[in-house]
Structure 1
């Protein structure tokens, strides 16, 4: 069987790269128009619509495309409402904080989100949860994803507080696909290292046998 990685299963490269284009466009438009929030928003929305159209043409799911475009629109509305360019990145800050919390809670509840996502992609539904080794491996690997969101927050929050718009745009680009790629690689390594020797892998959960029904009174 081909030795797959999480990057093979989950993809994410194209979406992560696409997600950086509207924020970078916002910063570019903001600078070109003399630090006008309206200028940045118009350029960001134009790029967001162009990216959405391109993703639809290449066969991406319409729902995922719409969510990405709505995120750009929401960021634009917030920035226009407050008149503060740094607020274009507020949605990113909130989403990373929420993601870190949700992933942490999922690990504590023994429903690690990495297992939920991979199990859904592989069509396993919840069968992976009947494999204690897989649950443990997914839990440990999910902490890598929590760390990813924490790293972003640690970088974004001081820049946001200091109103560093250009630095926020650079950080958004630098901490999107490169960080996602590192997260996929490291979490895959943790997952494989945690599984015991002889385990058939994530495609083949080892479910515990059900106890036999007694025929005696």
Structure 2
């Protein structure tokens, strides 16, 4: 709702007002406030409910400052570009964000990183999320450059939860295809045993030799 209602309302208000920037801004702010109230009524934390409204306010402020209606979507463009970069860098650094997120949800901390199979699977699946942001940019940038405000609103709504749902499904498929058939799954990282130090080996074998004598 945070991602779809305000952009659609902005495009609708812009069109209804005869391509009026203020018509779009007011409609977006009303929609953002309505979504925040709706989320609060459903028991959401105030901070979480107000984040979406804050994003709408910032987007509206940018558009008002520049006087260009298409700039209402500039924050989304920058956010997607930054997200694609962060996800790609996390994969290169062998800290794929999908693993970080799932590991936190499963309360594994960083145990998943000590499992080479899981690390590889999360790395490959994280590229799906990089492609998600790249796809949004490929659609948004030409529309933004052409000042297609109504099309930007529709594209923003279409490429939110449907695209995220598709990414979840495809990334899960990639993880399942990457993990070996005998792997116990995401909840059970297989961590290699720590190497035995020579001193420990000698200390362990010495009593055994004494007992044998």
User: Would you say same fold, with TM above 0.5?
Assistant: yes
**Distance of 2:196 and 2:17 partners within structure 1:** 74
C-alpha displacement of 1:156:
0.3
Structure-to-structure mapping, 1:50-89, within 5 angstroms: 50-89=34-73
**Which deviations, in whole Å up to 9, do the C-alpha atoms of 1:86-131 show, x marking residues without a partner?**
0000011000000000000000000000000111111111111111
Counterpart for residue 197 of structure 1: 181
Asked if 1:148 is matched to 2:122, the reply is: no
Asked if 1:158 is matched to 2:142, the reply is: yes
**Distance of 2:167 and 2:44 partners within structure 1:** 23
C-alpha displacement of 1:56:
2.0
Segments of 5+ residues of structure 2 without an aligned counterpart are: 204-213
Q: How many residues are treated as equivalent by the alignment?
A: 201
Larger relative contact order (CA 8 Å, sep ≥ 6)? 1
Which of structures 1 and 2 has the bigger CA Rg? 2
The 4+ residue runs of structure 1 with deviation greater than 6 A are: none
Segments of 5+ residues of structure 1 without an aligned counterpart are: 1-16
**Distance of 2:91 and 2:44 partners within structure 1:** 30
Counterpart for residue 168 of structure 1: 152
C-alpha displacement of 1:139:
0.3
Structure-to-structure mapping, 1:8-47, within 5 angstroms: 17-47=1-31
Asked if 1:93 is matched to 2:97, the reply is: no
**TM score, norm. by length of structure 1:** 0.89
